[in-house]
Amino acid sequence: MEEAFAKLDIRKPENIVYKRTDLLVDRPLSYCPGCGHGVANRILMETIEEMGIQDKTIGISPVGCSVLAYDFMNIDMLGAAHGRAPALATAIKRLWPDHFVFTYQGDGDLAAIGTAETIHACNRGENITIIFINNAIYGMTGGQMAPTTLEGMRTATCPYGRDVKIMGNPLKITELISQLPGTYFVTRQSVHTPVNARRAKKAIRMAMENQKLNKGVSFVEIVSNCNSGWKMTPNQANKWMEENMFPFYPLGDLKVDGKLVEKK
Amino acid sequence: MAKVKGDIVINIERCKGCEVCMTACPFHVIAMAKEVNSKGYHYAVKVNNDCTGCTNCAVVCPDGVITVYRAKTE
């Protein structure tokens, strides 16, 4: 069926405008269908390819779905204990200041188990990049409640919805760390539409470039879906995310060049 | 006026049938096949000739299965 609409005359190598980057290992990604991790992995690898720093980049993936990243990223990767990626990144960056170091963490990892490491690494102003995938749930372990789970949102461990009187309020860790003097660039993006994915890629590019300036932590939050954990189809999950996640986690830059961006 | 025409090639064995590309395409070029691939997913297929090579589908594809070609024709 597909062959009927093939335009063979333009299928030539010189006409390629987009193809999967070679920095992703040539094997199927083991994320669920429609998961934002796939796009996040790819735009991160595209950024590194465009900057030409494949041999000087060290990635750290701790526990959660983000741990799978080291199977797919064709660069030097290290696995960290749960939540401890910023601490490991600190050590690597201090030992190899000319290398580019990034951590790739989920919300259960960065905002729950690794809160202390994250906040202290950001407060010390380590010259690293933190990529934070926020899907408001513990995806890998079966959809339990995370600190970032929205009020009233149903998960496996709060089947009647998150009750803030018992379970506390959702944690806006990105706003929290943007107040710290050690952060240089803090932004929140998403990857569910082409325009958002392109913006997120620009933000990641800026975050990696900032490591040359030696000014502090660059922090990129990517609000993502977890269609398996939310029990939705990918397109439903993206729509739900736009309607429910974005009002609470508004997209945009929070801190650029070390200065807080004023909200209009 | 120069016209732009585009084409996409989908790696159907890697496609997981999430349908995100289908909503991202402004010209409704992509639909899901009735057939399934070896993993059992209804893979994405090209169903018309309106592709302009805008790369929207390839950018949002979580598995990076889409390669986009674009050429100008007189």
Q: What is the CATH number of the domain that holds B15?
A: 3.30.70.20
B23–A7 C-beta distance less than 8 A: no
pLDDT bin (cut points 50, 70, 90) of residue A260 is confident
What is the predicted pLDDT for the residue at A44?
93
Residue A185 has pLDDT above 90, yes or no: yes
Lowest-confidence region among A51-55, A79-83, A180-184, A259-263: A259-263
Q: Report d(CA A87, CA A93) in Å as an integer.
A: 10
Asked whether residue B67 carries a pLDDT value surpassing 60, the answer given is: yes
- pLDDT band, very low/low/confident/very high, at A1 (cuts 50, 70, 90): low
| pLDDT at site B72 | 84
Beta strands in chain A (DSSP E): 16-18, 57-61, 76-79, 100-106, 129-134, 183-190, 217-223, 252-256, 259-260
Contact A18 B66 (CB under 8 A): yes
Which tens digit of pLDDT belongs to each residue from A217-242? 999 999 999 999 999 999 999 999 99
pLDDT score for A59: 94
pLDDT score for A2: 53
Question: What is the band of A258 on the pLDDT scale with cuts at 50, 70, 90?
Answer: confident
Predicted pLDDT of residue A259 = 85
Query: Pick from B19, B45, B18, B16: which is nearest to B30 by CA?
Result: B45
Structure-model confidence comparison of residues A259 and A59, the more confident one: A59
**pLDDT at A249 exceeding the cut of 60:** yes
Beta-carbon contacts of residue A63 (< 8 Å; ≥ 6 apart)? A80, A81, A82, A83, A109, A113
Q: Is B71 on the interface with A (CB under 8 A)?
A: yes
Has residue A9 got a pLDDT over 90? no
With 80 as the cut, is the pLDDT of residue A65 above it?
yes
pLDDT at position A5: 74
Q: List the single residue in A5, A12, A39 with the smallest CB-CB distance to B60.
A: A39
Q: How many domains does chain B have?
A: 1
The encoded tokens of residue A206 equal: 């800026």
Range of the domain at B35: 3-73
Give the mean pLDDT of A193-214.
92
The residue extents of the domains of chain A are 31-255
Mutate to test the interface with B, among A8, A10, A189 (most CBs of B within 10 A): A10
Of the candidates B48, B59, B67, the beta carbon closest to that of A5 is on B48
Which pair of structure tokens corresponds to residue B56? Answer: 């929207």
Would strands A129-134 and A100-106 be described as parallel, antiparallel, or unpaired?
A: parallel
Residue B68 to residue A19, Cβ atoms within 8 A: yes
Cross-chain Cβ contact B71/A192 below 8 Å: no
Those residues whose C-beta lies under 8 Å from the C-beta of residue A124, and which sit 6 or more positions away, are A90, A182
Supply φ then ψ for residue A32, to 5 degrees: -65, 155
Contact residues, chain B, for A12 at CB < 8 Å: 69, 71
- Chain B positions touching A24 (Cβ under 8 A) are 64
CA distances B27 to A27, A195, B60, Å, are 30, 16, 15
Superfamily of domain A31-255: Thiamin diphosphate (ThDP)-binding fold, Pyr/PP domains (3.40.50.970)
Cβ of B31 under 8 Å from any chain A Cβ? Answer: no
pLDDT tens by residue, A106-159:
998 999 999 999 999 999 999 999 999 999 999 889 889 999 999 999 999 999
Q: How far apart are CA A75 and CA A48, in angstroms?
A: 9
Please give the Cα distance from A78 to A61 (Å, whole number): 6
Q: Does pLDDT of A264 surpass 80?
A: no
Supply the mean pLDDT for chain A: 90
